[in-house]
Amino acid sequence: MSSQNQSLFERAQRLIPGGVNSPVRAFCSVGGTPPFITKGKGARIWDADGKSYLDYVGSWGPLILGHARPEVVAAVQRAAADGLSFGAPVEMEIELAETLCRLVPSLDMVRLVSSGTEATMSAIRLARGFTGRDLLVKFEGCYHGHSDSLLVKAGSGLLTLGNPSSAGVPADLARHTLVLPYNDANAVADTFRRHGETIAAAIVEPVAGNMNLVAPKPGFLAALREETERHGSVLIFDEVMTGFRVGPQSAQGLFGVTPDLSTFGKVIGGGMPLAAFGGRRDIMAHIAPLGPVYQAGTLSGNPVAVAAGLATLRLVAAPGFHETLSARAARLCEGLTRAARQHGVSFCARNVGGMFGLYFAPECPDDFASVLASDREAFNRFFHAMLSSGHYFAPSAFEAGFVSIAHTEGDIDATIAAASAWFAARTA
Ligand X SMILES: *Cc1c(COP(=O)(O)O)cnc(C)c1O
Angle between helices 409-427 and 321-342 (to 10 degrees): 20
Contact flag: residue 265 with ligand X (CB under 6 A): yes
Contact call for residue 331 and ligand X (CB under 6 A)? no
Contact present, 204 and 138 (Cβ < 8 Å):
yes
Q: How far is the CB of 214 from ligand X (least distance, A)?
A: 12
Which of residues 145 and 309 has its CB atom nearest to ligand X in the complex? 145
CA of residue 172 relative to chain centroid, distance: 28
Choices 111-119, 331-339, 368-376, 386-394 (CB under 6 A): range interacting with ligand X: 111-119
Find the farthest-apart pair of alpha carbons in the chain and give their distance in angstroms, rounded.
67
* List 35, 42, 58, 116, residue binding ligand X (CB under 6 A): 116
Beta strand pairing call for 234-238 and 261-264? parallel
Interaction residues for ligand X, span 271-300 (CB under 6 A): 275
Strand ranges across the sheet with 135-139: 109-113, 275-279, 261-264, 234-238, 199-204, 135-139, 177-180
Active site residues: 143, 238, 266
What x-and-dash track marks residues 121-160 binding ligand X by CB under 6 A? ----------------------xxx---------------
Q: Is 393 in the site for ligand X (CB under 6 A)?
A: no
Distance CA 309, CA 268 (A): 5
Tell me the closest approach of the beta carbon of residue 205 to ligand X, in angstroms.
Answer: 5
CA atoms of 415 and 329, how far apart (whole Å): 12
User: How many degrees, rounded to 5, is the angle at CA 61 between CA 323 and CA 168?
Assistant: 145
19 or 243: CB nearest ligand X: 243
Residue 87, C-beta contacts closer than 8 angstroms, at least 6 positions apart = 298
| Identity of the residue, 120 or 249, whose beta carbon is nearer to ligand X in the bound complex | 120
Nearest-approach distance from CB 243 to ligand X, in angstroms: 9
Which span (37-45, 66-74, 115-123, 411-419) binds ligand X, by CB under 6 A?
115-123
The answer to whether residue 120 forms part of the interface with ligand X (CB under 6 A) is yes
In 198-244, the DSSP E strands lie at 199-204, 234-238
> Could you say whether residue 309 binds ligand X (CB under 6 A)?
no
Number of residues that bind ligand X (CB under 6 A): 15
Residue closer to ligand X (CB basis): 275 or 418: 275
Q: Which residue is nearest to ligand X (CB)?
A: 116
| Rounded-to-integer distance, Cα 225 and Cα 234, Å | 9
**Positive or negative torsion for Cα 122, 125, 131, 136:** positive
Task: Report how far residue 29's alpha carbon sits from residue 48's, in angstroms, rounded to the nearest whole number.
Answer: 22
Residues 225-244 close enough to bind ligand X by CB under 6 A: 238, 240-241
Nearer to ligand X (CB atom), residue 142 or residue 412: 142
Q: Would you count residue 367 as binding ligand X (CB under 6 A)?
A: no
Q: Where on the chain is the footprint of ligand X (CB under 6 A)?
A: 115-117, 120, 143-145, 205, 209-210, 238, 240-241, 265, 275
